[in-house]
Structure 1
Amino acid sequence: MIIDPTRNELRLITPAAGSEPEVTAFERIAIRRVGLPGDAREWFELAVDATDMHYEAYVLIESIVDQLRSGATFRHSVSESLEGLKDLLAKRKKLTDEKVIGLIGELLVLDHVVAAYGEDVAITAWLGPLAEQHDFGFPDFDAEVKTTMSEARSHVIGSDTQLEPVPARSLYLVSVQITRAGAAVKGFTLPELIAAVRGRLDTTLRTFDNALDGLGWHHSDADLYRARFQLRSTPQAYFVDGDFPAITSKMLDAVVPNRPLVGGVSYRIDVTQLPFASAPEPLTDFCEEPE
């Protein structure tokens, strides 16, 4: 065992026998394969960030050593020790699948607008991270981006205001369908999509990073997001007017007794069979044009 006070780190080195332990879910623990001077063998090095948790880090190392002395493999020793001390160790948390899918849709729109109209217009228009009523507020209209992995354009609407137009402003629902990409050449992961957008930014880069941080994305957790996606179809835009199947706050106010007592409205709509519209700029080239 090595104690490194300059890094606030405890390290355990043991011969690299068997498979490597899985520790990617733990933000304070890392496994590396290393070589030692004058020794041709390969070694496992387990490093524990002991900042503000010196006792817990030492107990973890001690537990792993006890397991090794009893004849267990290094992978088993680490796994058993982590399970026994999981309440003492902070686990890394990734975004839920629902949030990942929703963020991908918004980023695809954002990436298109940045490429076509510049970063200032795009980042200013992106309202999703600010928890505003709609995801994008463009000069002449608002857009609510909904993303699904289903074969149908079936989307969950999370409130009674998401599809309620702002007075004197047009509103479009932008339907994005994605699917698992496997090894497809055009596939992408969430971290790759974020990196692509960041690569287009200059003056608004900090604003973009702060927005992602507010949504729960952290660059240090990029390795947790390994799923690859691709577009299932060309996105479509739907004009939200009086004939669109939306449940709005104004509608509920008119028909629900004691309306202030009703909250948490959520519903699902399937727009597959509805006629889609021609999206205004800057989304004209992003969405499919009706025939």
Structure 2
Amino acid sequence: MSFSKMMEFPELNKYRFKGVEIFPVETEDFRELNIYLLDNDLKDIFSLFIQNILEDIAESITEKEAITKTFNVISKWKKLFDKINFNGLSLEYQKGLLGELLFINSLLDAGIESDVILNAWMGPDFDDKDFRFGDIGIEVKLTSSKHPKLKITNEGQLDIQNLNRLFLILYIVEHVQGNGFTLNSLVSQIRIKLSSNFNSLSLFNERLLLLGYLQIDEEYYNTMFRSKEIYTYAVTSEFPRIIKSQLPSGIYDTSYSIEISAVENFKIEQSITNNLINGKSSH
């Protein structure tokens, strides 16, 4: 990307991430921003990354606006690339993806249209909420702990701002040797259900890439689980949580855990989640 000599770039050290190198080149006439792919195994996800930049800067009027948008996209994608390692996604990220896929699978089984589900899937966009169906938000958690708890990773996850309702779904699973599901098998199940709709299948595969699920890493995703319990909670203003408006200035990325016993009164019937997007559920 070429810019005039007078344009300044942010400090590039803050934007370096795995598999990608970003550096400036200066000539007599212009400044150039180079983005290089270093790991060819990431070429599919790198293509989406570059496409995202091009789409965001397409309507920029000034060079400064284009630079700002470019580095906003780079910051977003740095989060993704930084969680990919050479042995696949960490087990923590696998569990996060497993929970989201279990929810998608349940909605498909309930007859919800695939394009509605996939367009509501916010996880790949690094949104605070995993799913948004209009003004209804869904946050999904999965744990295999013998002493389950709700692990909240930032102050935005349980914030109801700009939402009419927010629900939190907790999948409690256990490790098994057989008769269970793996990350790979769940992906395959959903792909089969989407196979008759090319656009939905393509969108699903793209969303998986955005979350760091790469075909080259499939050998690392054969840990088998079995569902034990599924709990659904209505997150209201009384729900025990930490949100941005409660934090002192300068404090962010607040992670914390909530005891299951502390939210017992907010539990609702799991079957209600099948009707969430129709606005039929109630506390």
Q: Aligned ranges for residues 1-291 of structure 1 at < 5 Å? A: 92-116=86-110, 117-139=112-134, 141-183=136-178, 185=179, 187-201=180-194, 202=197, 203-233=199-229, 235-252=230-247, 256=248, 259=249, 261-273=250-262, 274-275=264-265, 276-278=267-269, 280-282=272-274
- Whether the 8 Å CA contact 2:95–2:142 is kept in 1: the answer is yes
Deviation at 1:283? 5.6
Distance 1:109 1:219 in 2: 22
Task: Describe the SS at the equivalent of 1:146.
Answer: strand
Distance 1:272 1:98 in 2: 23
Q: Which amino acid aligns with 1:97?
A: L
Deviation at 1:277? 1.5
- Whether the 8 Å CA contact 1:152–1:272 is kept in 2: the answer is no
TM-score (norm 1): 0.60
Q: Deviations over 1:105-140 (max 9, x none)?
A: 100000111222121121111111111121011245
Task: Describe the SS at the equivalent of 1:282.
Answer: helix
Deviation at 1:262? 1.3
Cα distance change on mapping 1:153 and 1:169 into 2, 3 Å: farther
Cα distance change on mapping 1:230 and 1:272 into 2, 3 Å: farther
Cα distance change on mapping 1:94 and 1:265 into 2, 3 Å: same
Q: Deviations over 1:132-187 (max 9, x none)?
A: 1210112452110011111333021111110001335101111111110212x2x0
Larger Rg: 1
Task: Describe the SS at the equivalent of 2:88.
Answer: coil
Task: Describe the SS at the equivalent of 2:89.
Answer: coil
Structure 2 residues without counterparts, runs of 5 or longer: 1-38, 41-84
Identity score, percent: 28
Identify, as 1 or 2, the structure richer in helix. 2
Q: Deviations over 1:53-108 (max 9, x none)?
A: xxxxxxxxxxxxxxxxxxxxxxxxxxxxxxxxxxxxxx843100100111101000
Q: Which amino acid aligns with 1:216?
A: G
- Whether the 8 Å CA contact 1:123–1:208 is kept in 2: the answer is yes
Distance 1:112 1:247 in 2: 29
Q: Which amino acid aligns with 1:198?
A: R
Task: Describe the SS at the equivalent of 1:212.
Answer: helix
Distance 2:205 2:191 in 1: 8
Cα distance change on mapping 1:165 and 1:228 into 2, 3 Å: same
Residue 63 of structure 2 is matched in structure 1 by none
Q: Which amino acid aligns with 2:87?
A: K
Distance 2:253 2:135 in 1: 30
Structure 1 residues without counterparts, runs of 5 or longer: 1-50, 53-90
